[in-house]
Amino acid sequence: MKILVVGGAGYIGSHMLKMLAGTGHRVVVLDNLSTGHRSAVRSAVFVEGDVAERARLDDLFAAHGFGAVMHFAAFSQVAESMRDPGRYYANNVAGTAALLDAMVRHRVNRLIFSSTAAVYGEPRYTPIGERHPREPVNPYGRSKWMIKQMIGDYERAHGLRYVSLRYFNAAGADPEGELGESHQPETHLIPLAMQVAAGRRSMLEVFGRDYPTEDGTCVRDYVHVEDLCRAHLLALEHLVDGGASGTFNLGNGSGFSVQQVIDAVERITGRQVRVVNRPRRPGDPACLVADARQARSALGWEPRHPQLDDIVRHAWQWERRSPAMQVA
Other Cβ atoms within 10 Å of 139 Cβ, number: 24
Let me know: does 121 contact 284? Beta carbons within 8 Å. Answer: no
Known catalytic residues are: 140
Q: Which residues pair with 47 in a beta bridge?
A: 30
Residue 277: strand, helix, or coil: strand
Residue 306: strand, helix, or coil: coil
CB under 8 Å to 133, separation ≥6 — which residues?
120, 121, 124
Let me know: does 234 contact 301? Beta carbons within 8 Å. Answer: yes
Residue 5 has φ and ψ, to the nearest 5°, of: -110, 110
Closest CA to 229 of 1, 8, 2, 4: 8
Closest CA to 248 of 307, 297, 308: 297
Closest CA to 103 of 140, 143, 145, 150: 150
Please give the Cα distance from 70 to 244 (Å, whole number).
Answer: 17
**Interior CA angle at 158 toward 157 and 161, to 5°?**
110
Closest CA to 161 of 64, 235, 61, 74: 235
Residue 185: strand, helix, or coil: coil
Residue 88: strand, helix, or coil: helix
Other Cβ atoms within 10 Å of 277 Cβ, number: 11
Please give the Cα distance from 109 to 95 (Å, whole number).
Answer: 17
Sign of the CA dihedral running 60, 61, 62, 63 = positive
